[in-house]
Amino acid sequence: MLKNGLYEQIINKGFLLGLLKNLKDLDADKFTPMEKRMFRMFYVTVFGKVTEDRNSPEFKENITELSQCPILLGELEELLEYRYDKIDFIDEPVDLGFDCPLDLYCTYTRDQILTAMDFLKPQTVREGVKWLPEIKADLFFVTLNKSDKDYSPTTMYKDYSINEWLFHWQSQSTTAEGSPTGQRYIHHKSRGSRVLLFVREFKTDRLTGMAEAYSYLGTMDYVKHTGERPMNITWKLQKPIPAKYLKKTNKLVVG
């Protein structure tokens, strides 16, 4: 079964439609770096795993079987066209210093996000933060409404938007101001690293019962913090949070 997120986000409509129509003649070695990342996102969405060995028997078998299912391919194309026509916002690229297919305000699963960032073991990520030293980026995966049955007391972080520009985020419970991680957060701009914010309202999608996808709110800059273990950090987004998201992200301010 396809994971939630494939039709709620834009991986690049033209690339995906072309890919679906030409799977039998697929030559991934000719892809550009951007196309390789988009293809990884597609592959992990459909098959639930990442592979860099495009000559492996499993990879060839998966692609061959999909290419020989015209009904499924037709449904994928129709769904892609349908979701594309329902887009009600203008997405835009985010400068991360490399060709990244993730666009601002689009919706992605955790695995899609990580594979787009060239991290090829997304299933190993269990925390709500991930530091990727190769691209010098901190990824924050925020679930706004947390339930006691899904989160332990040490992971019930207080994360919410203060207004359309500012976001309050609480670090992991072990992060101290003077720790390497705490210092990286505070001095990320001078050190040349970026902080990326992905948010979702709930852990589980109420309609599908699967993990809810994340909305990409872009990059943030450090403003200030209080306390440690955990650190309560105020970040300023480089692009304002749209009203449609602000209604969800600021609901935890009260109380």
My answer on whether 227 and 149 are in the same domain is yes
Q: Are residues 131 and 243 part of one domain?
A: yes
Q: pLDDT tens digit string along 16-48?
A: 888 888 888 878 778 889 888 998 998 998 888
Range with the poorest average pLDDT among 50-64, 76-90, 177-191:
76-90
Whether residues 158 and 226 fall in one domain: yes
- Regarding whether 130 and 78 lie in a shared domain, the answer is no
- State yes or no: pLDDT of 87 exceeds 80: no
**9: confidence class by pLDDT, cuts 50, 70, 90:** very low
Sign of dihedral through CA atoms 215, 219, 225, 228?
positive
Q: Say what the pLDDT of residue 8 is.
A: 37
Inside any domain, residue 102: no
Examine the domain organization and report whether 72 and 187 are in the same domain: no
Q: Tally the domains of the chain.
A: 2
**pTM of the predicted structure, to 2 decimals:** 0.85
Asked if residue 156 belongs to a domain, the reply is yes
136 and 72, same domain (yes or no): no
pLDDT for res 221: 98
pLDDT per residue as tens digits for the range 138-197: 999 999 886 555 444 544 458 899 999 999 999 999 999 999 999 999 999 999 999 999
- What percent of the chain shows pLDDT beyond 70? 86
Q: What's the whole-number average pLDDT of the chain?
A: 84
Note the pLDDT of residue 111: 94
Task: List CB contacts of 253: < 8 A, sequence separation 6 or more.
Answer: 160, 161, 162
173 within some domain: yes
Q: Kindly report the backbone phi and psi dihedral angles of residue 90, in degrees, each rounded to the nearest multiple of 5, phi listed first.
A: -105, 115
Q: Which tens digits make up the pLDDT trace of 205-236?
A: 777 778 889 999 999 999 999 999 999 999 99
Q: What is the pLDDT of residue 217?
A: 95
> Do residues 48 and 153 both lie within one domain?
no
Please check whether residues 63 and 134 belong to one and the same domain.
no
Query: Which tokens hold the place of 214?
Result: 């994340």
Q: Are strands 194-200 and 137-143 parallel, antiparallel or unpaired?
A: parallel
Residues 242 and 132 placed together within one structural domain of the fold? yes
Domain assignment present for 109: no
Establish if 120 belongs to a structural domain: no
Domain containing residue 145: 126-249
Beta bridge partners of 170: 232
Q: Are residues 134 and 75 part of one domain?
A: no
55 is a domain residue: yes
Most confident of 10-14, 47-51, 69-73: 69-73
Does residue 79 lie within any of the structural domains? yes
Final residue belonging to a domain, choices 65, 85, 105: 85
Note the pLDDT of residue 192.
Answer: 96
User: What CATH number did the domain enclosing 227 receive?
Assistant: 2.30.280
Residue pLDDT, tens place only, 112-131: 999 999 999 998 998 899 99
The answer on pLDDT for 135 being more than 70 is yes
Q: Is residue 104 part of a domain?
A: no
Burial of residue 55 (CB within 10 Å: 0-12, 13-18, 19+) is: exposed
Joined tokens for residue 38: 């988009």
Specify whether 172 is located in the same domain as 221: yes
Question: With helix as H, strand as E and coil as C, how does the chain read?
Answer: CCCCCCCCCCCCHHHHHHHHHCHHHCCHHHCCHHHHHHHHHHHHHHHCCCCCCCCCHHHHHHHHHHHCCHHHHHHHHHHHHHHHHCCCCCCCECCCCCCCCCECCCEECHHHHHHHCCCCCHHHCCCCEEEECCCCEEEEEEECCCCCCCCCHHHCCCCEECCCCEEEEECCCCCCCCCHHHHHHHCHHHHCCEEEEEEECCCECCCCCCECCEEEEEEEEEEEEECCCCCEEEEEECCCCCHHHHHHHCCCCCC
Of 23, 52, 85, at which residue does a domain stop?
A: 85
